[in-house]
A and B are shown apart, each in its own frame.
Chain A
Amino acid sequence: MRNDMILQTKNVDFYYGACRALTDVTLDFEKNRVTALIGPSGCGKSTLLRLLNRMNDLIGGTRVKGEILFEGRNIYAPNVDPVEIRQRIGMVFQKPNPFPKSIYNNITFAPKLSGVRNDGDLEELVEESLRQAVLWEEVKDVLNKSAMTLSGGQQQRLCIARALAMKPDVLLMDEPTSALDPISTAKIEELIDTLKKRYTIVIVTHNMQQAARVSEYTGFFYLGKLIEFDATEKIFTNPGVKQTEDYITGRFG
């Protein structure tokens, strides 16, 4: 039995100028589960991810057709503010991108903007977020040091903590470990496993083992289309479509 569907895409087409990047994508994301999006480079998986919190708005000349529902509400409806959407749907990027500020200020950046002023509240939030991202023990004594001094893996966990500080409902992760070493990758994967108790996670990855390890559901994309969507176990052991099988068994260009 599946939980609530927190995010749903309905017949989504997406265009960069005249070029169609996504075709008729219909997909439901279950609450408090990890959904992985896999597929070869340029298949549209990252594009879809960036549609889910309207990050693609920042690129000129793009067009969306169809609906993307967040808690039943179309986030592309004219009266919806993308800023509010992004406050509730956090994102972690491929390359760690901490601000050139202190660790503390990285975490408090967004909460301050949304009105949290009290120093005590902020401090609590910093500790809580860093603990959730399993970074607290490593940085608790250097909160005022520049985030740029952290290692790549630490930076990425900081970025996760930064996103968590907004207490989002959904966390989008765009190949979050592709720039990291294996040890850091393992830490992040572990983290994803604990985070799903509280958050809904959508992760884009080109690493199929990673998808298999961390997710409950997997969608396979190819040339802008959702080829197959199912429970991860099913996708990786008994895919329903030939193209999926070719891809996960490595017989794919």
Chain B
Amino acid sequence: MKKHDRVSFMKWRYLRQSLFFGSVRLSALIIALALLGIVAFLIAHGYRAITWDFLTLPPTDSMTRGGIMPAIIGTFYLTIGAIAIALPLGVVSAVYLAEYAKQGRFIRIIRIGVNCLAGVPSVVFGLFGLGFFVVFLKFGSSILAGSLTLGILILPTIIGAAEEALKAVPQTFREASLALGVSKWRTISRIVLPSALPGVLTGAILGVGRAAGETAPIMFTAAAFFTAVLPQSIFDEVMALPYHIYVLATAGTHIEQTRPLQYGTALVLIALVLGIDLIAIVLRSAVRRKKRW
């Protein structure tokens, strides 16, 4: 190539690079704006609906007025139930996978099982919850059935986060403890798990956020259109925030009239879910920064 050609060829190579970097930056920007746009839009349209009464009163006048208190309570119960089921089971599974398991067919099956469980569509969890908990075990549409369904749904998330947290604990910690003649279980429970606790907690919080926002799994297993009274036991149906949005937006007789309520409920739900996620993100970065090892 002649010198002149080479110069213009280099220019072309850099032009191509600039175009690519431009589109890469643009796509990142669009994604950030999409999140921001959705959140800002809901805030702009929803903030007027948020009053003390809205948060503390039940719906009235066939759900065209009043508040969303029962839905908040219901989501709270379902979420607590889900995490109460998924956290212990998830952490134990992660401990087994990270600390005990050796390579082999058994482990491979468990890993595939967890991966596949993570990929099951939420509506299929709903069907399963209906067929198994509601019908077969006769729990009926209830907090119990809904919590169990949501618990299974977030189980893979919890396992993944806990396993990652366990793997991040330096091998030297384990060796130091084992070398002192401490048994494997004591090493895990006294040394490894406490070191991994912040990471496990982050996973648990993310799991809570996920459970709080899900709709399809609770549609047939727990959620009620409207309940006159708050739930008295775990065998009662409950209202839930995501389902309430869906119902108001699609199934009411006054869809246009209740729009402010819909925006308000949606705002409460994303504030709750994104707030929970944000806590997890902040916690995680704080832990990373303070990490002593």
Contacts and interface: CB of A to CB of B under 8 A. Distances in A.
Do A and B touch directly, given a CB cutoff of 8 Å in the complex?
A: yes
Interface of A: 81, 83-84, 113-115
Contacts of B29: none
B1 interface: yes
Contacts of A113: 13
A12 to B, nearest CB: 26
Nearest to A113: B13
A115 B10 CA distance: 10
Given A113-B13, A115-B1, A115-B9, 4 more contacts: A81-B10, A83-B10, A84-B10, A114-B9
A81 B13 CA distance: 12
The majority secondary structure among interface residues of chain B is helix
Interface in B173-201: none
A159 to B, nearest CB: 23
Interface of B: 1, 6, 9-10, 13
A115 B12 CA distance: 11
A34 B76 CA distance: 74
9 contacts: A81-B10, A83-B10, A83-B13, A84-B10, A113-B13, A114-B9, A115-B1, A115-B6, A115-B9
Contacts of A83: 10, 13
B39 to A, nearest CB: 33
B15 to A, nearest CB: 13
Contacts of B6: 115
Nearest to A115: B9
A82 to B, nearest CB: 12
B12 to A, nearest CB: 9
A51 B37 CA distance: 46
Contacts of B13: 83, 113
A228 to B, nearest CB: 40
A137 to B, nearest CB: 31
A183 B9 CA distance: 42
B59 to A, nearest CB: 56
B272 to A, nearest CB: 39
